[in-house]
Copies of this chain bind each other. A is one copy, B any other.
Amino acid sequence: MQVNLPREVFIVSDGTGITAETFSQSILAQFEISFRIIRKPFINTVEKATQVVDEINKVSNSKKILPVVFSTLVKPEINLKISQADCIIIDMFKNCISPLEKSLKLKSNHTIGLFHNNANTQSYKNRIHSINYSLAHDDGQASANLQNAEIVLVGVSRSGKTPTCLYLAVQFGMKTANYPLTPDELEKKELPDDLLKIKDKVYGLTIDPVRLSEIRHERLPNSKYATLQNCKFEVQKAEYLMKINKIEFLSVTNKSIEEVASTLLQKFNPEVISTKE
């Protein structure tokens, strides 16, 4: 019976633990188990580590089953403390950093918070700037002023433009904009002039009309806007408009934001240069 109980999983990090949590979720998804994730960020002293060990041991004693601990701790003394807990420990940094040290013939820094503790760097400021830019250029706002955008998404209402744009801005610091194709534009089969000027940045999203109709019914139940007939009409016109204007597009129907974003990154930003500031 115990197999169906959620397994306790601790994410122990000396930083935010956010990357560690995302990565461990993708690992846990490979196993047929339910789990309860307990976040333990900012464990940057031996004292805090000792408290976490106590908590892990308490779970271990009461549940009679070892909790799983994913740790990303760069300081050896903190790592040593956590490794003494009664648990299955997956030391993510050691598993990846040690082999890299050997191959690169370089020592790692063992410095806490190198990745996210960068709020004063130029690249961080650019990222915040991109989030503000993307908000200001959501849903066709300020469409006369898109020369600074890196990507401009077009598509019918509720085809997933806004979540994709925000994801790219928040996660990758990209300046995004999006423009909903209006019934007028669909009828004229023409992209607005503002978009024609920057056509190499324009990319289309489309969606299965049945799914679109469901989504629109959640937003405006029983409206003409949400009817399957109207959704079919708009999607067909939008795809036709994108084809004759040679705008590349993809269907988001069964895709997550991450999958759409990754496809867009491949086209618009396939590489990242990272230099030490």
Contacts and interface: CB of A to CB of B under 8 A. Distances in A.
A85 B35 CA distance: 36
A274 to B, nearest CB: 5
Interface string A161-185: 0110011001100000000000000
Contacts of A78: none
Interface in A53-94: 66, 68, 70, 72, 74, 88, 90, 92-93
A259 interface: yes
B272 A106 contact: no
Contacts of A6: 273-275
Contacts of A254: 119-120
A229 interface: no
Contacts of A119: 252-256, 259
Contact of A124 (B22, B110, B256): B256
Interface in A27-58: 27-39, 41-42
Interface stretch (A12-20, A146-154, A198-206, A230-238): A12-20
Contact of A258 (B18, B30, B37): B18
Given A16-B261, A18-B258, A116-B256, A276 B131 contact: no
A1 interface: no
A260 B156 CA distance: 35
A9 B262 CA distance: 17
B18 A108 contact: no
Given A30-B110, A170-B171, A271 B39 contact: yes
Given A18-B261, A163-B128, A256-B124, A36 B96 contact: no
B100 A88 contact: yes
How many identical chains are in the complex? 2
A26 to B, nearest CB: 4
A132 B257 CA distance: 13
Contacts of A271: 36-39
A266 B15 CA distance: 13
A114 interface: yes
B100 A92 contact: no
Contacts of A252: 119
Interface of A: 6, 15-20, 22-39, 41-42, 66, 68, 70, 72, 74, 88, 90, 92-93, 95-97, 99-100, 103-104, 106, 108-111, 114-120, 124, 128, 131-132, 135, 138, 162-163, 166-167, 170-171, 252-259, 261-263, 265-266, 270-276
